[in-house]
Amino acid sequence: MYTYLLSISAVFIGSLIVYIFKPNNQKSLKLLLAFSGAFLLAITIFNLLPEVFEDHTYAKQTGVWIMVGILLQKILEYFSKGAEHGHIHLNKETTNIPVLLFISLGIHAILEGFPIHNTEGILVGIIIHKIPVAMILTTFLIKTEIKKPVILLFLILFALMTPLGTFIAENFEVVQGYYKEITALVIGIFLHVSTTILFENNEGHTFNISKLLIILLATITAYLI
């Protein structure tokens, strides 16, 4: 039960930070996002990849599923406008919740919930990843013309998607039979999201010591967990 509560709380922590403190320091938010991306990437490499490649007989097939995950995330981003890695480019005058944004984020969140119950460190990685994403998502939503109760409903449903994925993975035998394939798919999604966070916003390809130290700290933390 605590797994569900922790993954749900990540969204509300991010949202409450925005509502209470109204942060407007984009540099700090980018560094937080960089930490989350590096942590998620490191957890994927240290924990998830060794797990799915234990069976060398199906190594190439596993690789195919990872590539499918990368391509799937690329498709989802066309509808989410990059919300998973900190970018939302939608009309601020909208009065309705963007349905495609919700569906895309929902699919992403459900899938990332699958390996939580079986892989050490992934829950922490997802929580650290979700907090800045929730901050960015909330910041965008409150600047639109969407009514506050509708925004709250959106955030509640979004928060429930990852626990839903975990619940499905724990209780449905059909899904459990394809655990490694689904996990490989999730690895592809994590690789795409985390590397995009780390390398997409390298302004002018200049050396950024703060970002480098943040990435190093996140990597060491992920290794020690």
Reported as a pLDDT band with limits 50, 70 and 90, residue 71 is very high
Determine, yes or no, domain membership for 146: yes
CA dist 41 → 13, 37, 129, 170, 211 (Å): 22, 6, 10, 24, 15
| Parent domain of 130 | 2-11+28-224
User: pTM of the full predicted structure?
Assistant: 0.88
- Is the separation of the CB atoms in 187 and 4 below 8 Å? no
Structural domains in the chain (count): 1
Determine, yes or no, domain membership for 23: no
Residue with tokens 């689904």: 182
- Give the residue, 93 or 89, on which the prediction is more confident: 93
Residue 190 is predicted with a pLDDT of 93
pLDDT above 70: residue 206? no
Determine, yes or no, domain membership for 113: yes
Beta carbons within 8 Å of 95's beta carbon, 6+ residues apart = 144, 145, 146, 147
Determine, yes or no, domain membership for 18: no
The structure tokens listed for 200 are: 């997409």
d(CA 170, CA 136): 30
Across 99-103, 166-170, 196-200, the highest mean pLDDT is recorded for 166-170
Determine, yes or no, domain membership for 17: no
Question: Cα 224–108–141 angle (5° rounding)?
Answer: 105
d(CA 192, CA 19): 29
Reported as a pLDDT band with limits 50, 70 and 90, residue 155 is very high
Determine, yes or no, domain membership for 170: yes
d(CA 110, CA 118): 15
